[in-house]
Amino acid sequence: MTVLITGGAGFIGSHLCRAFLDRGDSVICVDNFITGSRENVKNLADNKNFKLIEHDISIPLYNINENIDWVLHFASLASPKDYITYPIKTLKSGLLGTHNCLGIAKAKKAKFFFASTSEVYGDPLIHPQTEEYWGNVNCIGIRSCYDESKRAGEALAYAYYRQHAIDIRVVRIFNTYGPNMQAEDGRVVSNFIVQALKGEDLTIYGKGNQTRSFCYISDLVNGLLKMMQTDYKMPVNLGNPKEFTIKELAELVLKFTKSKSKIKFMPLPEDDPKKRKPDIAKAEKLLKWQPKISLEEGLEKTIEYFSAKLG
C-alpha cells in the first residue's frame, strides 16, 4: 500500500517510515524540518519506495498524483521546549494541518490516522488515565497551544468521520523515547541522557516526584501498526503503564551512563502534570498489545544512540 506520513522526518514518524518500507509499502514523507531531521531519513533516500516532500502541512498540499491508502498525521511540535517557542505553529499544525490531512484523505478515499497525545488529559484528576476521561486542561495556559491543538484535532477527525464517513483511527500517545530523538528537544529522557554524557547537571523541575511512564519506540510503532489493522474508531491509549518518578529516571540515567553529573533542582513549570500513566486495557483487549521493552533496556539502547551522535 501507499502511506503519506506528515512529520515523517520526526522522531516517531521516521521510525514509521522505516517500518512501512521494511514491509514493502510505499511511503510519501512530508516534513518542513522545523523539528524533524534530514538525518533521520537520510538512510531511506535510496529506497525506490520512499519519496520526501519538504512542505509545511498547515498549508494545503496539492499535486499528489499517487493513490493513497492511508494518511498518517504525525506532524507536530511535541516537546514543551518547541511548542512554547512556536505556539502559533503548534496550533496551526494541530488545527490547519489536521484539516488539510483530512482533506487529502477525503479526496483520495484514504483512511486517516491521527497521532494524538496523553496531553489531552492535561494535569489529570484521575489516575491512571482511561480513554473515557475528558481531561483537566488549562485552555489558555502556556501548554494550551499543544494540548488544545490535539484536542481540536481529535474533534476534526470525528467531524469528518461523522459527516463524510472518513475511516479514522486515533491513538493517544504517552511519553515515548528512543533513537532519532533530537539532542536539544527538551524532552526529559533526551535531556537527562545528553546532560549526563556531557558531564552537565541533570535538571529536574520541582522535587522530581512527578511521575511519567516511558514507552520505547519499537513498542509504540508495533502498537500503531496493530491499530491500523483494527476497525475500532474511538481513541486508544498507547504507552507503557509502568510508572517512574522523574528523580528515579535521572538516577537510572546516571547509573547507565556512569556519569559523575549531579542533579540540580529547578522551579516547576506552569501546568506541568503531576502524574501521567496510561490505562492500556483497551489496547490489550483490542490490539492484543503490550509494551515489551523495560525502561532499563530502552535507556541502554537510547544512551548508545546519543553516545554515537554526540561523538
The one-character DSSP state at 8 is T
What are the catalytic residues? Answer: 146
- What is the per-residue pLDDT for 271? 62
Query: Percent of the chain having pLDDT more than 70?
Result: 100
- What is the per-residue pLDDT for 114? 98
Helix H segments across 165-275? 188-198, 217-228, 246-257
Q: Where in the chain is the domain with CATH 3.40.50.720?
A: 2-176+215-238
- What is the per-residue pLDDT for 184? 86
**Mean pLDDT, range 168-190, rounded to an integer:** 94
Angle at 192 (CA atoms; ends 87, 130), nearest 5 degrees: 60
Whether residue 162 has pLDDT greater than 90? yes
- What is the per-residue pLDDT for 273? 75
Cβ-contact 148, 139 below 8 angstroms: yes
Q: So what CATH class is 179-212+242-276+293-310? A: alpha beta
Cβ-contact 113, 106 below 8 angstroms: no
Q: Which residues pair with 27 in a beta bridge?
A: 3, 50
Cα–Cα distance, 13 to 9 (Å, whole number): 6
- What is the per-residue pLDDT for 269? 73
Query: Tell me: the pLDDT tens digits for 3-46?
Result: 999 999 999 999 999 999 999 999 999 999 999 999 999 999 99
Provide the angle, in degrees to the nearest 10, between the axes of the packed helices 87-108 and 144-164: 20
Cα–Cα distance, 273 to 120 (Å, whole number): 11
**Mean pLDDT, range 143-159, rounded to an integer:** 96
Query: Tell me: the pLDDT tens digits for 66-100?
Result: 999 999 999 999 888 899 999 999 999 999 999 99
**Fold designation for 2-176+215-238:** Rossmann fold (3.40.50)
Cβ-contact 250, 202 below 8 angstroms: yes
- What is the per-residue pLDDT for 155? 98
Whether residue 139 has pLDDT greater than 90? yes
**Mean pLDDT, range 287-302, rounded to an integer:** 97
Cβ-contact 212, 188 below 8 angstroms: yes
- What is the per-residue pLDDT for 102? 98
Evaluate if pTM is beyond 0.85. Answer: yes
Q: Where in the chain is the domain with CATH 3.90.25.10?
A: 179-212+242-276+293-310
